[in-house]
Amino acid sequence: MNTMLTRLATSLLLVLIIFLIIYLENIWIFSLAISFVCILGIFEWVTNKFEHLFLGLFLIFGFGSCSIFYMLLNENFYLLYVLIIMNTAIFDTFAYVIGTKFGANFIVKKISPNKTLEGLAGGMSGSIIFGLICGHIFEINFLPLIFMLGGFLAFIGDLLISYFKRQSGVKDTGSILPGHGGILDRIDSHLIATPVLILLL
């Protein structure tokens, strides 16, 4: 199986697991899943000898605690969480496609050589379009702005983990996810975007 098919198969499996956990609407299953992800994230941070352990603890457990506590306080949590996850995924997809096809102006080549202004603009455009669609469905006019912010924060989170990987001389934070690398390679976009959007929504 080539790398692209491996990445696709792993992505589909992760999406199915995430939606199953959310569909079950069970606080204990969700909390255990988030806690497990956070523990693996911290393990990878320590194993790769990333700098600023306190920052890693703050980002990873901040992501986890916001997710769990907001679920306890908001009856519409599961719907909002799905929208936040989808927005980040849409941002990443648009950024990748547009950046690959039209990327020419690199943002921080020394940290992340594939990130371009065109890719960033494409990702944020995807988030705005998704926000317009959701805003129309749920009659929330400010969703495009919120999702655009979420897309930009996803970019910052991704860039931050890329910086630490570059400093530590590693390509991936781990190998637990075939074709994707480690847990931090997958949740990097969510570390900042998810807590902020949860608080705003």
Summarize pLDDT for 16-49 with one digit per residue, the tens: 777 787 777 777 888 888 888 888 888 888 887 8
Q: Is the pLDDT of residue 138 over 60?
A: yes
Cβ within 8 Å of residue 118, ≥6 positions away: 98, 99, 102, 103, 104, 105
User: Any idea which residue has 């936040």 for tokens?
Assistant: 84
Tokens describing residue 33? 């899943």
pLDDT over 90 for what percent of the chain? 16
Instruction: Please tell me the distance from the alpha carbon of residue 180 to that of residue 175, in angstroms, as a whole number.
Output: 8
Q: Is the pLDDT of residue 4 over 60?
A: no
pLDDT tens string 44-96: 888 878 877 778 888 888 888 888 877 777 777 777 888 888 898 888 888 88
Alpha carbon dihedral 163, 88, 16, 1, in 10-degree steps, equals -50
pLDDT at 147: 94
In the chain, what are the domain boundaries?
A: 3-200
Which whole number is the average pLDDT over 142-146?
Answer: 92
DSSP annotation of 71 reads H
- ∠99-104-109 over CA atoms, to 5°? 85
Instruction: Please tell me the distance from the alpha carbon of residue 154 to that of residue 123, in angstroms, as a whole number.
Output: 10
Tokens describing residue 137? 């469905």
- Residue 144, number of CB atoms within 10 A of its CB: 19
pLDDT at 152: 94
**Is the model's pTM score more than 0.85?**
no
DSSP codes of every residue in 75-109 = TTHHHHHHHHHHHHHHHHHHHHHHHHHH--SBS-T
